Amino acid sequence: MTHPNPPAGTLDIVIFGGAGDLSFRKLLPALYMAHLHDKLDASARIIAVGRQDWTRQEYLDFIDKNSPAFIEKDAFTSDDWQSFLNRLAYVSMDVTNANDFTKLKDLCDKPALRVYYLATAPSLFTQICAHLSGAGLVDAQSRVVLEKPLGTDLASARDINSQVARYFDEQQIYRIDHYLGKETVQNLMVLRFGNAIFEPLWRAPYIKSVQITVAESVGVGSRAGFYDGAGAMRDMVQNHLLQLLCIVAMEPPISLGADDVRDEKLKVLRSLRKMDLADIKRDTVRGQYTAGASEGAAVKGYLEEDNVPASSRTETFVALRAQINNARWANVPFFLRTGKRMQRRESQIIIEFADQPFSIFGSTAQQEPNRLIITLQPEESIQLEMMVKEPGTGMNLHPVKLGLDLQQSSDKRRAEAYERLLMDVIKGRLTHFMRRDELEAAWIWVEPIINGWAELDDKPRAYSAGSWGPAASSALMAREELSWFEEA
């Protein structure tokens, strides 16, 4: 029995790499949630493109087996899942072969808004775009979503951008960073610019330091082949961490328009102080995890992972001190840190406010700085750490946290990052996607650090799996009489 693809409608979401990990773990579960909550037009189709020689039914069987585990249990029902699967089409093709795109052309035989999601290796982006255009599948309504990493250095990023721009205008290109779809990250804009108590203090000298940590408890797993050619700097710092830094540090935009917001983020990236070799040696720490324990189980080191060369010097951890050369952030250090096989999965932004210039409580009082603790994962929350008096006689101080649990602050459903960003693409909202000059400015700052490590013959420092990284990262903070938040 044949299972024909669904008929053409008003919207086609075409996913290249439709059988890949990203598709069945993130994209299709996100689209299922959008389907469940009536965010997709009834006639919208999801067209998966893959190299596997499958029929549509074989593809549906694969998705039915693999995707439900990544959907919230309370949101999954057999009937809803089946109605979602009815939206799915499958095209088996070699994306490097222009002739194969006639198969996609035959399926897309009526005018529609088409979103092309390139969940493939970046090396395929330019060929896919060229072949889409050659097959007459690109028009003024078309949109293309580019997954990270976009290039491995500035030259390759510029080349990809230039090639894609031959077929799509900048307003049609969505360079996705899923961190920008997180509710708490988007809430940062409101926290900063919607609350009068923060804006006057959001600058030097009232802020002493900023920490941004994206820690993962997992190792490289099945991504080892890709990861060894990238490392933590390319995989995480160049995109996720710098995007978070931009939102923390940007000036108020004149509006929430996409270009107004991205103009301010670009200014931050261009204001980052460039590092020379002396700066790189002093202000950066690379690490590589060794065997240890993670979440109660023994785990192997990076060099013992499958598909990792025994002599690899790829970093799985980066900590660095950044400086923004502008009036708002003069002399305020920004500490960025990311790593795999760390003690726990946690993403946080810590705003540490300046010490009191004079304390009336005496030198013996235990007085800690005020901190704004913004947690992005695993839970999403915002806490303000303040000093209060301990009960009893005397004036003994201790810190307490004023907490805002964002998951409990509203009874409205909180969409997952990919769902929110996919809906933004469909609606043509570019605010939470990187612009070309923004991406290239990030590479302009990052690339000299990567090249500097090579010139210094810098070998990553070992750290045990399940720890918080090399001791040198703590020393990076300690020399300024600071410490990472979990060590404070």
The string of DSSP codes covering 3-37 is -PPPPP-SEEEEEETTTSHHIIIIIHHHHHHHHHT
Which amino acid appears at position 56 of this protein? R
- 183-241 tens-digit pLDDT: 888 888 888 999 898 888 999 999 999 999 999 999 988 788 888 889 999 999 999 99
pTM of the entire predicted model: 0.91
Residue 445 contacts residue 274 (beta carbons within 8 Å): yes
The CA angle 231-159-430, to the nearest 5 degrees, is 85
Alpha helices in 206-327 (DSSP H): 224-227, 231-232, 242-249, 258-271, 277-283
Which amino acid appears at position 234 of this protein? R
Residue 48 contacts residue 23 (beta carbons within 8 Å): yes
Which amino acid appears at position 278 of this protein? A
Distance CA 349, CA 446 (A): 20
Judged by phi (left if over 0) then psi (alpha if -120 to 50, else beta), residue 288 lies in beta
Distance CA 448, CA 341 (A): 26
Residue 149 contacts residue 239 (beta carbons within 8 Å): yes
Distance CA 269, CA 6 (A): 45
| Measured CA distances, 100 to 51, 91, 125, 138, 251 (Å) | 11, 10, 16, 16, 48
| Measured CA distances, 332 to 15, 205, 272, 351, 446 (Å) | 43, 8, 12, 11, 20
| Measured CA distances, 299 to 223, 318, 341 (Å) | 16, 20, 9
Distance CA 158, CA 164 (A): 10
Helix axes 242-249, 258-271, angle to 10 degrees: 100
CA-wise closest residue to 173 among 164, 181, 182: 164
Strand ranges, E, within 132-206: 143-146, 173-175
Distance CA 236, CA 118 (A): 19
Residue showing tokens 């390759």? 156
Residue 291 contacts residue 300 (beta carbons within 8 Å): yes
Distance CA 161, CA 442 (A): 14
Residue showing tokens 């900590």? 319
- 423-432 tens-digit pLDDT: 999 999 999 9
Distance of CA 431 to the CA centre of its chain: 15
Residues in the chain where the model's pLDDT stays below 70: 1-9, 363-365, 406-407, 409
| Per-residue pLDDT, 3 | 55
Distance CA 474, CA 287 (A): 12
Side-chain half-sphere CA neighbours of 443 within 13 A: 20
| Per-residue pLDDT, 46 | 97
DSSP-derived 3-state class of residue 186:
helix
Catalytic residue (choose from 3, 240, 398, 432): 240
Distance CA 13, CA 11 (A): 7
- Scored b (16 or more CB within 10 A) or e, 318-346 reads bbbbbbbeeeebeebbbbbbbbbbbbeeb
Distance of CA 98 to the CA centre of its chain: 32
Distance CA 186, CA 432 (A): 9
Side-chain half-sphere CA neighbours of 488 within 13 A: 19
| Per-residue pLDDT, 89 | 96
Secondary structure letter of residue 240 according to DSSP: I
The CA angle 319-322-327, to the nearest 5 degrees, is 160
For the CA atoms of the chain, what is the radius of gyration? 24
DSSP-derived 3-state class of residue 81:
helix
Q: What element of type H or E holds 208?
A: strand 207-215
DSSP-derived 3-state class of residue 279:
helix
Is residue 240 part of the annotated active site? The answer reads: yes
